[in-house]
Amino acid sequence: MSVPIPRFGRLRGIGAPDPTPDLRAQAEILLQTLLQAEEVPDRGVYRPGEVCQLLRISPTTLRQLCELAEHPAVQNPDPRALESFLVGCHHRISRAALVDWLVRNQTFQREG
């Protein structure tokens, strides 16, 4: 005789698993892990070399990602765009922009 297997949400006190994980929290954890692994201090603003080290990308790739976000008239910016600001002629990337980029690129669906 088979015993019916209870489904989530049918037993009192047991809820269904959350179908939409908190991507921002996951991105924050990922950033903390990357910072610890690369021994980069946790700050509000990062230099390009630090971001390249964290994301393991080349300076050219970082420059291209920053350039994708530069033009304010773009209606639908590229999901790969990384917001930055200039200090003199040097790019700086805020912690919030880095977390937003990680969130977008965890959920980005490639075409094809």
For 83-95, the pLDDT digits (tens) are 998 899 888 999 9
Is residue 60, in this structure, part of any structural domain at all?
A: yes
Is residue 97, in this structure, part of any structural domain at all?
A: yes
| Contact call for residues 20 and 96 (beta carbons, < 8 A) | no
The count of structural domains within the chain is 1
- Alpha-carbon span 54 to 38, nearest angstrom: 7
Is residue 80, in this structure, part of any structural domain at all?
A: yes
Is residue 53, in this structure, part of any structural domain at all?
A: yes
Is residue 36, in this structure, part of any structural domain at all?
A: yes
- Alpha-carbon span 54 to 48, nearest angstrom: 10
For 30-75, the pLDDT digits (tens) are 999 999 999 999 999 999 999 999 999 999 999 999 888 876 666 6
- Find tokens 């949400």 and name the residue: 9
For 2-34, the pLDDT digits (tens) are 555 555 545 555 555 554 568 889 899 999 999
Range of the domain at 35: 23-106
Is residue 6, in this structure, part of any structural domain at all?
A: no
Is residue 52, in this structure, part of any structural domain at all?
A: yes
Query: For residues 57, 61, 63 and 66, what is the CA-based torsion angle, rounded to 10 degrees?
Result: -90
Is residue 91, in this structure, part of any structural domain at all?
A: yes
